A and B are shown apart, each in its own frame.
Chain A
Amino acid sequence: MLDNVLLGLQTAFTLENIMYCFGGVFLGTFIGVLPGIGSLAAVSMLLPLSFYLDPTTALVMLAGVYYGAEYGGSTASILLNLPGTPSSAVTCLDGYPMAMAGRAGVALFITTIASFVGGSIGIVMLMLFAPLLASFALSFGPSEYFALMTLGLIAAAGVVQGSPLKGLAMVLLGLLLGAVGADVNTGETRLTFGLLGLYDGISLVALAMGLFGVAEIISSINTHKSASKDMSVRLSSMMPSAEERRKIGLPMLRGAGIGSFFGALPGAGQSIAAFIGYAVEKRVSKDPSRFGKGAPEGIASPEAANNAAVQAAFIPTLTLGIPGSATMALMLGALLIHGITPGPGLIAERPDIFWGLTMSFWIGNIILLILNIPLIGIWVSLLKIRYNYLYPTILCLICIGVYTLNYSLFEVGLVLVFGALGYFMRLFGFEPAPVLIGFVLGPMLEENLRRAMLLARGDFMLLLERPITAVLLAISAILLIRIAVRIVGNARRSSVSG
């Protein structure tokens, strides 16, 4: 362990990696603060640029954007009652009332400290459990991977807001989109509509930028609001009182624990972690009525939870190759493009990547502490930028980013098509995140299913004779049954009331 940590420090503490780490978390905070652009859009914009970097450096930067955005996300929640990232929506509940009561500085201070505590605990979990899980997963064959991916996909479908059927539809759509292009085993082209640009499959970046970037811009125009001119936060106003400091200690730790657990589950993600963190605090509180009126615990726990979840999300991605969230799916895609297949062998074969990345998280979290407390003024003034300045700029960046993938305008056309698809999906209440998870996992799911079935001589029941496969598929089946029960329950309730 110590050797590995030293190796990691060695890798992380090169000037180049520190610079890219700083660049990543800076940009991440920037993106997180601005409502309407998530870390996903930011990571996909940077993905083409990362091809020019060493894989570790690329990952350090992209990961920095991801967890940096979680820090920045709470700023707009507190000051504008508008979440900067989906997972900081809970922070609005008590953060905004605190700002209304003139305690915005204190709220921003608490969220930053809670983010740091959550992030740190998440990193420790990653350091402890990733190697353990990896050594356990070394014995996995194709059937185990198939079962694990099935479980992850069903979980991803089940956590969407609204009908889980719609989540399932999105996962299946993602799996189909992932099948576009030449089939790896036979070379036969599938679902390409005769378009030459699709022979290598749909580009992940174009899909992500269309579904998230462009679709988000269309739905945000004319509904977006920015901060008033006179809004400012001074450093002197940020210090919490002794009573507030005492109140937030335990909630932060509880939040970090909840976040580490839910973050590591494939398909769950930060938003769920933050909501559960909030719900638990409300339940254990002696006076739950204070929640929603500016209770400091109500922002400390969810912020610790979503930042712990972000760090813990690297556990399944790096050790099993199964992304827990859409942004993680993108990160997985980045690794694959660099020719690195994340899986149980990664930690042993490329310890420099795993440990270097983990150690860069410490550097990044410390930089974020500095960026978000002494330099908070910068971010607050950022909220004053009007959206009509932001979205044309973002649109240009999306176009340039996609174009530079392989200098083809065909990809920009794909962004247009997926932008349209994404906008209509959103309009009809579909969440786009499971599409991306399905898209990245699709080719791997198919490949593992084919291999497993070949080994089992075409008999699906033989797969169930492998204990781990059987357990994983059983859990998947239970999840599906629970989803079915929920759907039937909803239908019955509404037909009684209607």
Chain B
Amino acid sequence: MSINRKEVAAGLLILLIGLAALLIVTDYNIGTARRMGPGYFPLIMSGLLSVVGALIMVAGIKSEAKSLPNVSWRPMVVIFISLAGFMLAMFLGGLLPAIVLTIAISSMADKNSTWKDVAILTALVPLAAWLIFNQGLSLPIPFLEWRF
């Protein structure tokens, strides 16, 4: 018997999400079938999710061997840092620093990016954003406003 590691891990992921939700929703008032409380529907759903997760695991145990998928760590981590950078820079300084920082960080995810590409983008995107969001749609987004 061979094990499809990818499927087993996938099922485990779902099972864990289902069980976690189950643990939380059991605290809510379940009610009766006639008068359902806030916990009734989520309880059924998280229960079903756990069952489906377990079934995916079982199906993975009895199938062709497959290893775990490769995670592209670099793009993933870089993109997440750039999103966090947007949040921080937007909070501290407004749209302009937020866009510049997001572009500068996220560009590191692609190995084909050059300094020239980043320079062009950091010049063009804030300009376009300012024209579209601040001028065109006159949304109240602070463009440059230092907060520290």
Contact = CB atoms under 8 A, between A and B. Distances in A.
Interface in A400-436: 400, 403-404, 407, 409, 412-413, 415-416, 419-420, 423-424, 427-430
Given A404-B141, A429-B10, A393 B121 contact: yes
B34 to A, nearest CB: 3
Contacts of A396: 86, 99, 102-103, 125, 129
Nearest to B69: A427
Given A169-B49, A392-B103, A498 B2 contact: yes
Nearest to A52: B137
Interface in A105-134: none
Contact of B140 (A163, A407, A416): A407
B37 to A, nearest CB: 7
A218 B17 contact: no
A266 B68 CA distance: 34
Interface stretch (A250-258, A274-282, A450-458): A450-458
A172 B87 contact: no
A190 interface: yes
A400 B29 contact: no
A191 interface: yes
Contact of B79 (A217, A409, A427): A217
B36 to A, nearest CB: 5
B32 A190 contact: no
Contacts of A190: 25, 28, 38-39, 42
B42 A395 contact: no
Contact of B86 (A218, A412, A420, A491): A412
Contact of B59 (A163, A168, A428): A163
Contacts of B120: 389
B19 interface: no
Contact of A166 (B10, B18, B39, B103): B10
Contacts of A450: 36, 40-41
Contacts of B102: 392, 395-396, 399
Interface in B20-55: 21, 24-25, 28-29, 32-42, 45-46, 48-49, 52-53, 55
Contacts of A179: 41-42, 45
A457 B72 contact: no
B73 to A, nearest CB: 10
B121 A389 contact: yes
Contacts of B141: 400, 403-404, 407
B126 to A, nearest CB: 9
A136 interface: no
A169 B56 contact: yes
Contacts of A169: 14, 49, 52-53, 56
A173 B34 contact: no
Interface string A371-409: 000000000000000111101110110011001100101
Given A176-B45, A396-B102, A458-B32, A186 B38 contact: yes
A217 B82 CA distance: 13
B76 interface: yes
B103 A172 contact: no
A446 B41 contact: yes
Interface in A193-244: 214, 217-219, 221-222
A140 B51 CA distance: 32
A416 B106 CA distance: 13
Contact of B33 (A172, A191, A400, A460): A460
B11 to A, nearest CB: 8
A393 B99 CA distance: 9
Contacts of B82: 392, 395
Contact of B10 (A399, A430, A490): A430
Contact of A173 (B37, B49, B56): B49
Nearest to B21: A176
A388 B28 contact: no
Contact of B72 (A221, A409, A454, A460): A221
Contacts of B76: 218, 420, 423
A172 B22 CA distance: 13
A137 interface: no
27 contacts: A169-B49, A172-B45, A176-B42, A186-B29, A188-B29, A190-B25, A218-B76, A218-B79, A221-B79, A222-B75, A387-B110, A389-B117, A391-B110, A392-B106, A393-B125, A395-B103, A396-B129, A400-B129, A403-B90, A409-B90, A423-B76, A450-B40, A450-B41, A458-B32, A491-B62, A494-B62, A498-B62
Interface of A: 49, 52, 163, 165-166, 168-169, 172-173, 175-176, 179, 183, 185-186, 188, 190-191, 214, 217-219, 221-222, 386-389, 391-393, 395-396, 399-400, 403-404, 407, 409, 412-413, 415-416, 419-420, 423-424, 427-430, 446, 449-450, 453-454, 457-460, 487, 490-491, 494-495, 497-498
Interface of B: 1-2, 6-7, 9-10, 13-14, 17-18, 21, 24-25, 28-29, 32-42, 45-46, 48-49, 52-53, 55-56, 59, 62-65, 69, 71-72, 75-76, 79-80, 82-84, 86-87, 90-91, 95, 98-99, 102-103, 106-107, 109-113, 117, 120-121, 125, 129, 133, 137, 139-141
Given A395-B103, A400-B133, A429-B6, 8 more contacts: A183-B38, A186-B37, A219-B72, A387-B110, A400-B141, A409-B91, A458-B32, A459-B33
